[in-house]
Amino acid sequence: MLITCAAYQDGKKIGDIDVSQIADYLSRPNCFVWVALRDPTVADLADMQRAFGLHPLAVEDAQVGHQRPKIEEYGDSLFAVLHMIEPDGGEFRVGELAVFAGRNYVLSVRSLAEKGFQDVRARCEREPELLRQGPGFVLYALMDAVVDRYFPLLEVLEDELDVIERRIFDPDGVPRQNIEALYSLKQRLMIMKHAVAPLLEGVSNLSGAHVPILCAGIGVYFRDVYDHLLRLNQTADSIRDTVATAISVNLSMITLQENETMKRLAAYAALLAIPTMIAGIYGMNFQYMPELKWHFGYAFSLLLMSGLDVYLFFRFKRARWL
């Protein structure tokens, strides 16, 4: 589906144009066309391929989807794939943004994602001096917008991790729920890692020694995107290590709780063992047993059993077994 098709010249918007007019504007000096598509059909991409002369392998990647984040160079044009991650209840929904950028065109293809880039287009149009840099700056603006949307998601994961960590040491906490929450958080964290880590090398190439012609003169902007990606990647690694530690601590807490339970059971078993042993001895019905015919024998045995149990009870209480 076509979202926007507009022409720009010398950093200023000429106006929205029809797809059939693209060829006319591509031939103008210092002019480029910016087209935005959402969930396009095969026919839509075929039209764009004919209009801009897109490389068939890049078109195939945009059409099939489910690509690894990457930045590829095809002659004097660039093809970038970025993951668009959006919260969906307690999970993350992963969409894609494919960007074709050439000398006089930019084509953005958004798939399986709700939030668009109208704010990015408005930002570019408010900065004609930068927009005069051409499609390279638009590519930067789109990538910068996608990367900036990752930060709030990581903050959500950090907040969830803080809550789970407090819950681990809560005496009334449920260890199984903590484990499930940690694994859910870890899965979403891996989605973030898969979106961020592969882009590091590609973006660094856009600001390194061998900058593509399309990005000449604006390498400092791509270096800013690279810095954001590096910070995101480091934060994700830190959260992942903390999650692993939290899982280990939670399992240790489960073991400690089991040990506490076993100690309590052992203590109660010891309290029952004393009267059971005494009653068992005198229940063997032998004829010659000490104090068998003593008048106070029954009361003494009860008193003895109670006294021993009271003594053991306080010993276990002092040892924190009860």
Euclidean distance between CA atoms 238 and 228, whole angstroms: 15
Going by pLDDT thresholds of 50, 70 and 90, the confidence category of residue 131 is: very high
pTM of the predicted structure, to 2 decimals:
0.81
Of residues 280 and 34, more confidence is placed in: 34
Question: Is 185 part of a structural domain of the chain?
Answer: no
Placement of tokens 């396009």 in the chain: 40
Phi, psi of 227 (to 5 degrees): -60, -40
Which domain covers residue 285, as residue numbers?
256-318
Closest by CA to 153, choosing from 195, 123, 122, is 195
Q: Please tell me the total count of domains within the chain.
A: 2
Q: What share of the chain is helix, strand, coil (3-state, %, to 5)?
A: 60, 20, 20
Which one of 86, 108, 126 terminates a domain?
126
pLDDT digits (tens, 9 = 90+) for 230-286: 999 999 999 999 999 998 888 888 787 777 778 788 888 887 887 888 777 777 766
The average pLDDT across 163-188 equals 87
Condensed to tens digits (0 to 9), the pLDDT of residues 95-112 reads 999 999 999 999 999 998
Q: Write down which residue in 60, 95, 126 finishes a domain.
A: 126
| Residue 31 falls inside a structural domain | yes
**DSSP tag of 106:** E
The answer to whether residue 199 scores a pLDDT higher than 80 is yes
d(CA 149, CA 230): 15
Domain harbouring 269, CATH code:
1.20.58.340
